[in-house]
Chain A
Amino acid sequence: MELQAVLMAAGGGSRMMDLTYNTPKPLLPVGNKPLIWYPLNLLERVGFEEVIVITTKEVQKMISTDPKVKLDVKMKLDLVCIQEDADMGTADALRHIQQKVKTDVLVVSCDLITDAALHEVVDLFRAHNATLSMLMSKAHEFTETVPGQKGKKKTGEQRDFVGVDGTGKRLLFMANEADLDEGVVIRKSIMRKHPRMHIKTGLVDAHLYCLKKSVVDFLADNKSISSIRGELVPYLVRKQFSKSTNSPKVIDETHQNLKKNDSNVNLEIQISSRDEELLHLTQERSCWNDHRGDMSDAYHGGRLRCYVHIMDEGICYRVNTLAAYIEANRLAPKLFDEPAVHPSAVVSERCLIGADSIIGASCQISDKTSIKRSTIGVSTTVREKVKVTNSIIMHGVTIEEGCNIQGSVICSNAVIGRGADIKYCLVGSAQRIEPDGEHTTMSKACSA
C-alpha cells in the first residue's frame, strides 16, 4: 500500500461558534451535503478505498446515521473516536493512531472543499522522495457580506509567510505572523543554498499533507508537538537546513535507536538502508541536479525535503470561518452535477427558483416564492410569498408567509415568523423569529 488517508474531523470550529454550537463542524451542511462529504468525495474520486476518520463520539453517531455519507461514500471508513474535551491537536490525533499507520499518510482536514488535482501533490512526494508535501492555494477575497458582522471587519487572520525556491515547488520557509516577533528571520544557511527565494503571503493552506511514515513515528516520540499546521510543518521546513539532518543520521535513524523492540520498524529501516546504497548509486550516476550555480550535489545532499504545490486556479476553500462557509455554499454546486432541485422536493409551479439555487430533499416550496442564489436545506418548508436571496437555509426550517430573507444564514430547525424581514443576519439553531420582525445585521444565536 502506498498511502493511507487520514481525515481529521475532530475540530470544533472555534472560529464560527455561531454555527457550530449545535451542529458539529464536520456535519455543517454545505450545498445540502455535510461538510465532511467533500474531502471524502475528493479521496474517493482520486482512488482511495479506505480512510481513517478521527472524530468525536458525537460526530461518529451522527455520521453513522447520516444518509448522505452512508449512501454516497463507497469507501471503508475507519472511525476513530477521541475525547472531545481532551483538547487534542491534529498531531496528537496522529500520535493516537500511530499503530494503525503502516505506510506514508495523506492527512486531510474535514473542512477542505477543493477540486485540486491531488496527483500534483503526491507526485512531488513520490518523485523527490520528500518527507512532506502539501497543497496551498491563492487566496480569494471573500466578496459576500458576512451576516452578523457590522461592516467589513478585518477578521485578524494572521498572515502566513511562505518561502519557495525558483521552481515554486520546494518549500524553504514557513512562518506564521503570530510566531514572528519583529520581522521575518531567514537563516544564512538557507540563503547560501537557495539565493533566490520567493516569499508569498496571500496563500491559503489547504491542510492537505503527505507525510512519510517516519514522521508519524517521530511524533510518537516527541510529545511536545501537538498541531501539524502550527508546529510540525514549520519544524520540518526548518529541519531541512539544519546541520544534523545533512549528515547520515536522520530522523528515522535516531528513531531506530530508540525503538529497538519494534521489529517491524527496525526491519523497514534495515531494508531501506540496504537499498540506500542502490539509491545512492543511482543519484551518483544520474546527471540531474535540482539547482545550479554552486558545487553541491542534488538537493544539497539533504535527506529531508519539503515540497508544496501552489494552485493557481480552481476551488480551494477551508470552511473554518463564517465568510468561508458562505462562499463555499455559493461554489459547492459547481463541484458536483446533481440537479439543483432535488427530485423529492415539492415545488409549486408558481415560484421562481434561480439557476444557482439548491433545493434539498423533501422540501416544500409554496406559491409565489422567489429563491435566488440560495441554498435550501432538507425538509424545509417555505410558505407563500417568501423572498429568499443570497441566503443559506439549513435543514428543517420553517419560513412562514411573506418573509423576506436576504444575505442571511438560518440554521437548522429555526422558525421564521410571518412577514419577518431579515437582512444579513445569522439565526441560530431552533430559534424563533417573531412575526413582522425586522432584523438587520445581527446574530441571533442560542441565548441560553
Chain B
Amino acid sequence: MADCGAADGPVKKDDIVRAKNEGKELTKEEKQRLRKEKKHQKKQKDEKRPSERAKEKKPVAPSQPVATQPPTQKAPTVLPASAPIPVPASGAPSHSSPAPSPADKPAKSRAEQKAERRARQDADRASKQQSCFSSSKTKAPPSELNPVVKRLPEHVQVDDPAVVKRLAKKLERQQIPLRSDYGYKVSLFSHLHQYSRKAPLTQQLSIPSTVIHPSIVRLGLQYSQGIVVGSNARSVALLHAFKQVIRDYTTPPNEELARDLVNKLKPYISFLNQCRPLSASMGNAIKYIKKEISNIPSQFKEEEAKTKLQKCIDCYINENVVLAAKAISKYAIKKISDGDVILVYGCSSLVNHILCEAYDKSRKFRVIVVDSRPRLEGREALRRLVQRGISCTYVLISALSYILPEVSKVFLGAHALLANGYVMSRVGTSQIALVARTFNVPVLVCCETYKFCERVQTDSFVSNELDDPDDLMVTRKGKTQLENWHDVSSLGLLNLVYDVTPPDFVDLVITDLGMIPCTSVPVVLRVKNLEQ
C-alpha cells in the first residue's frame, strides 16, 4: 500500500521533470493524467481494501517513510504557498495542507495516499509556475508522454454514436431538446452537425419558456435564423442576454451565487450551442464571465454581486469590442495611403469600421467588395460603405483573379486566430489570401485579441460548421433546379461556413495590441493568460 505509493513516486517524478520542460500547453494533459491516476489509485485501493485491513495495524514505522516523503516535497510547496500565486480555486477547498492528515491518522492508508497525491500535485504546481516564466519552445512529440488522449469536442464527433448518445443524455439532464441532423451529409464532413433552418429548436420547447430564460431563447432563435451574424455581433448579443439573465436571477436559499449562477448558465450555453455552434469569441466571453462569477467574494450581497457582474460585462464589451475597434482603426489607417485600392471580402464589421474611419480621416481610396454565395454578405458591406460615400466595386469571388491586378491591399476580417497562426474566417478567405499572394498583394488581417483561441488547426475539415444545405437552392425564372436534391441518392449539398488560412499567406495581423506577424499569436495568448 505504502509500497505502491512509493512505486508510483519515481515514475511521476520523471513526468514532472518532463512537464517542466514542456511549456504551458501541456498543463491540461497533466491535470487529466493526474486525475486518471487518482481514479486508478482509488480503484486499486478498493481492490486492496481487504488486504489493507491487515496492513493497517502495522506499527507507525511504515507511515514514517510516507511521512518523510511529504516533508521533502513540502519544502518546494511552502515557497509558492507563501507567494501570492493564484492557485486554481476549484482545487483549493478540498486540499488542506498535507502535513496534518498523515500524522493524525496513521492507521488509515487512504489518508496517506491522499497526502502523497496532494504533495505531488503541489510540487507539480510549483514546478509549473516556476517553469512558465522561462518557457522554452521545445515540445516533445505527444507519443513520448503518458498516453493521455485529449478529448475531442463533441461537436466534431457526430458520426460516433457513443458520443451522440452521451450528448443526448447530457441535454436530457439539462432539459434541453436535442436538435436532429438534416439531410445527407457529404462523407468528408459527416463528423459535423448539419441542421435545417426550418426546424428550429423552439418547436420542442414550451412556449412561455420556463426552463430557459426568454432572452436566451430569443438569442438562440436569432442565431439560428441568421439575424445576428458575425463574431462581434454574436458575442455582444450573448453578453447582453447574460446581463438580462443575471438581472432576473435570484439566489435560491442555501446556495451561493458564485456557484449556482455558473450552473444556471450551463444549460443556456448548451441550448445556444444547439441553435448554432459557439464561435471562438463567444467561448472566450463565456470563460470570462464564468471566471468573474466564480470570483465574486461570498460576502457580497446579491444586489451588489449582480451590479458588479453587469459592470464587468459592460467593461468587457467596451474594452474588447468598442475600444479595440478604435485602436485597430488607428493602426490600420496608418497602412492606408491615398490612391489605394482596397479589396475586402464578405461583411466584416471590423473592416467596415476601419474603412469608414479612414474615409472620415479623408484618406482617398476605393474599395472592391468580393462576395460569394450562398450568403452574399458582401451586399450588406457594399451598402454600408456606399452609404458613407466610399466608391466601391462589387464582384463575385469567381472574378477574383481578374480584379486582383488592380488591387493594392487586401483587408480581411477573422472569426478567430488559432494558436498556430492560422486564420479562421468565412469560407473563401483562404482563396482570397492565396490568389493575393500569387499576385504579390499584401494581405492584412484585422482581428481583436479576444478572438484569439488556443485551438490548433491546419485544415478546414476537422472543425468547421455546416450550414443549412437548402440555402444553396436558388430560384431563377421560377425554376429551382435543386428542388428535389433529397431524391438523388448520390447528391450531397455542402454549405461550409469557415475555412482556415495558413500564416504564410498573411502578411500582417492588426490587433488592438499592435501590428504583429501571424506567428506571434501564441505569444499574445500566453501574455493574456499571464495577465489573468
Residues of chain A whose beta carbon lies under 8 Å from any beta carbon of chain B: 1-5, 46-49, 106, 117-119, 122-123, 126-129, 271, 275, 278-279, 281-289, 292, 295
Contact = CB atoms under 8 A, between A and B. Distances in A.
B251 to A, nearest CB: 19
Interface in B307-348: 317, 321-322, 346-347
Interface string B223-241: 0011111101110110110
B380 A281 contact: no
9 contacts: A1-B208, A1-B214, A2-B209, A48-B207, A119-B205, A126-B218, A278-B243, A278-B317, A295-B387
B237 A282 contact: yes
Instruction: Count chain B CB atoms within 10 A of each CB in A46, A49, A119, A283 and give the residue with the most.
Output: A119
Interface in B161-196: none
Contacts of B208: 1-5, 47-49
B454 interface: no
A47 B205 contact: yes
Most buried by B among A2, A119, A287, A292: A287
A117 B206 CA distance: 12
A288 B317 contact: no
Nearest to A126: B218
A123 B203 CA distance: 9
Nearest to A283: B233
A288 B229 contact: yes
Given A117-B203, A119-B200, 8 more contacts: A3-B207, A118-B207, A126-B217, A126-B221, A127-B221, A278-B239, A286-B234, A295-B383
A49 B206 CA distance: 10
A122 B244 CA distance: 20
B200 A275 contact: no
B247 interface: yes
B349 interface: yes
B497 interface: no
- Which 7 A-B pairs have CB atoms at the shortest separation, nearest pair first? A47-B206, A287-B347, A286-B233, A2-B214, A285-B233, A278-B240, A285-B349
B357 interface: no
B230 A287 contact: yes
B228 A288 contact: yes
A278 B217 CA distance: 17
Contacts of B228: 282, 286, 288
Nearest to B202: A119
B521 interface: no
Contact of B232 (A46, A117, A285, A288): A285
Contact of B236 (A2, A119, A282): A282
Nearest to B228: A286
B67 interface: no
B52 interface: no
Contacts of B209: 2
B203 A286 contact: no
B371 to A, nearest CB: 11
B148 interface: no
B29 interface: no
B285 to A, nearest CB: 13
B227 A128 contact: yes
Contacts of B237: 278, 282, 286
A286 B207 CA distance: 27
Contacts of B379: 292
Given A282-B228, A282-B237, A286-B229, A127 B207 contact: no
A46 B205 CA distance: 8
Given A3-B207, A48-B208, A123-B221, A286 B230 contact: yes
A127 B347 CA distance: 22
Interface of B: 200, 202-203, 205-210, 214, 217-218, 221-222, 225-230, 232-234, 236-237, 239-240, 243-244, 247, 317, 321-322, 346-347, 349, 377, 379-381, 383, 386-387
A275 B240 contact: yes
Contact of A288 (B227, B240, B243): B227
A126 to B, nearest CB: 4
A311 B191 CA distance: 36
A78 B181 CA distance: 41
Given A278-B236, A281-B321, A287 B349 contact: yes
Contacts of A287: 229-230, 233, 346-347, 349, 377, 380-381
A414 B523 CA distance: 89
Nearest to A295: B387
Contacts of B236: 278, 281-282, 285
B208 to A, nearest CB: 5
Interface centre among B218, B244, B381 (most CB of A within 10 A): B218
A295 B386 contact: yes
Nearest to B222: A127
Contacts of B225: 127
Most buried by B among A117, A275, A285: A285
Contacts of B229: 286-288
A5 B226 CA distance: 29
Contacts of B200: 119, 123
B202 A282 contact: no
A284 B349 contact: yes
A351 to B, nearest CB: 43
A195 B514 CA distance: 46
A279 B217 contact: no
Contacts of B232: 285
Interface centre among B208, B225, B236 (most CB of A within 10 A): B208
A278 B318 CA distance: 10
Nearest to B383: A295
Nearest to B232: A285
B221 A281 contact: no
B217 A2 contact: yes
A127 B227 contact: yes
A282 B349 CA distance: 10
B381 to A, nearest CB: 7
A117 B347 CA distance: 35
B27 to A, nearest CB: 34
A353 B349 CA distance: 68
A279 B381 CA distance: 20
A1 B229 CA distance: 27
A106 B208 CA distance: 10
A5 B206 CA distance: 13
A349 to B, nearest CB: 45
Counting chain A CB atoms within 10 Å of each CB, the highest count among B200, B233, B317, B347 belongs to B233
A284 B321 CA distance: 12
A46 B227 contact: no
B426 to A, nearest CB: 10
A6 B229 CA distance: 35
A123 B221 CA distance: 7
A289 B243 contact: no
B218 A127 contact: yes
A275 B221 contact: no
Given A126-B221, A285-B230, A287-B380, A47 B247 contact: no
A295 B386 CA distance: 8
B207 A47 contact: yes
Contacts of A123: 200, 202, 221
Nearest to A278: B240
A295 B381 CA distance: 11
A122 B217 CA distance: 11
B8 to A, nearest CB: 52
Contacts of A2: 207-209, 214, 217
B417 to A, nearest CB: 18
B231 to A, nearest CB: 9
B399 to A, nearest CB: 20
A282 B226 contact: no
Contact of A122 (B207, B322, B349, B383): B207
Nearest to A47: B206
Nearest to B347: A287
A288 B376 CA distance: 10
A49 B209 CA distance: 11
B308 to A, nearest CB: 16
A279 B227 contact: no
Contact of A289 (B203, B322, B349, B383): B383
